């Protein structure tokens, strides 16, 4: 196992260097350097400006009792993507962009279904609005007479 980690720490930088050299030959050194600088500043901005917002959202979920594995995974994905953008390399940047894609429930899908028996929707502030319903059958005699 220690040799596997050592191989990973040696193979990843070598793969990044090979990717940067091949991409520089394909599209030009200027564009690759521009990409690496833009990715670095993007990761830096992600860490600086969203640190408090993501932490506040996570703490709000914890207080309301809605803290789940999905919300923890969303925070972890965000910070891992920011660190990968900070590191120089094309493969890490592509992995960071894949991590930033919306996945599953995090994409804003409505999970309420009629078979579930509860109907709820999320308002603009993210509050859950629950309601009850009952079916009212009209009187047939009253409609015919």
The 10 Å Cβ neighbour count of residue 126 is: 11
Q: Which residue has the higher pLDDT, 42 or 114?
A: 42
Residue 35 pLDDT = 94
10-51 pLDDT per residue, tens: 888 999 999 999 999 999 999 999 999 999 999 999 888 777
Distance CA 73, CA 135 (A): 40
End-to-end CA distance of the chain: 84
Phi, psi (degrees; rounded to nearest 5) at 129: -110, 115
Count Cβ atoms below 10 Å from residue 90 Cβ, excluding itself.
19
pTM over the 0.95 mark:
no
Q: Does 74 score more than 60 pLDDT?
A: yes
Choose between 145 and 52: higher pLDDT: 52
């Amino acid at each position: 196992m220690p040799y596997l980690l050592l191989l990973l720490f040696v193979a990843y930088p070598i793969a990044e260097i090979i990717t940067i050299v091949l991409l520089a030959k394909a599209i030009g050194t200027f564009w690759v350097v521009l990409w690496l600088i833009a990715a670095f500043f993007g990761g830096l901005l992600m860490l600086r400006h969203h640190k408090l917002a993501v932490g506040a959202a996570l703490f709000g979920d914890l207080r309301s009792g809605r803290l789940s594995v999905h919300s923890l995974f969303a925070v972890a994905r965000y910070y891992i993507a920011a660190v990968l953008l900070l590191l120089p390399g094309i493969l890490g940047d592509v992995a960071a962009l894949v991590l930033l894609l919306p996945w599953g429930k995090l994409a804003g899908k409505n999970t309420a279904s009629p078979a579930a028996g509860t109907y709820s929707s999320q308002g603009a502030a993210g509050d859950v609005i629950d309601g009850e319903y009952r079916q009212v059958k009209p009187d047939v005699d009253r409609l015919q007479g």
